[in-house]
């Protein structure tokens, strides 16, 4: 396998997943209310962004191998979660029946952080074994 393509599948999956988040964010408040979910909004945001953080972190660990510093990967993925969460909230500002919230951005970042920490633990475990 060419070194340049290492982890590319994780990156593609993360891109597709990010598009799915955008698609769901474009649903109106009325449409979402039909699902009848009575779950804490912040938990949904964190759960929604956790797989994204996991996939991006796995890409970084696969791409850079032993040179990938776990703390740097986790920090970068969390920063990405803040940026993407902010963009997602700005998008929702223009969707009927939806609101934008800094609390949602924080929950998105927590989801990415959690996903990145899971990836770091998996990679660390594999390196030890």
Please report, for the chain, the start and end positions of each structural domain, with discontinuous segments joined by +: 3-128
pLDDT tens, position by position, for the chain (129 residues)?
A: 455 678 899 999 999 999 999 998 887 766 656 666 555 688 889 999 999 999 999 999 999 988 999 999 999 999 999 999 999 999 988 988 888 899 999 999 999 999 999 999 999 888 755
The pLDDT of residue 108 is 97
The pLDDT of residue 125 is 86
Contacts of 11-20 with CB under 8 Å at 24 or more apart are 11/55, 11/56, 11/59, 13/55, 14/52, 14/55, 14/56, 14/59, 17/51, 17/52, 17/55, 18/52, 18/84
The pLDDT of residue 111 is 98
The pLDDT of residue 59 is 96
The pLDDT of residue 128 is 56
The pLDDT of residue 1 is 47
**Residue listed under structure tokens 């991006």:** 56
């Amino acid at each position: 396998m060419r070194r340049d393509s290492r982890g590319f599948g994780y990156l593609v999956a993360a891109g597709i997943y990010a598009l799915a988040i955008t698609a769901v964010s474009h649903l109106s408040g009325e449409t979402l209310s039909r699902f009848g979910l009575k779950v804490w909004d912040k938990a949904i945001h964190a759960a929604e962004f956790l797989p994204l953080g996991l996939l991006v972190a796995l890409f970084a660990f696969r791409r850079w191998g032993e040179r990938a510093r776990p703390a740097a990967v986790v920090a970068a993925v969390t920063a990405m979660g803040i940026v993407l969460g902010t963009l997602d909230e700005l998008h929702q500002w223009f969707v009927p029946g939806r609101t934008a919230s800094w609390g949602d951005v924080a929950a998105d970042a927590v989801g990415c952080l959690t996903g990145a920490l899971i990836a770091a633990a998996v990679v660390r475990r594999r390196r030890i074994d």
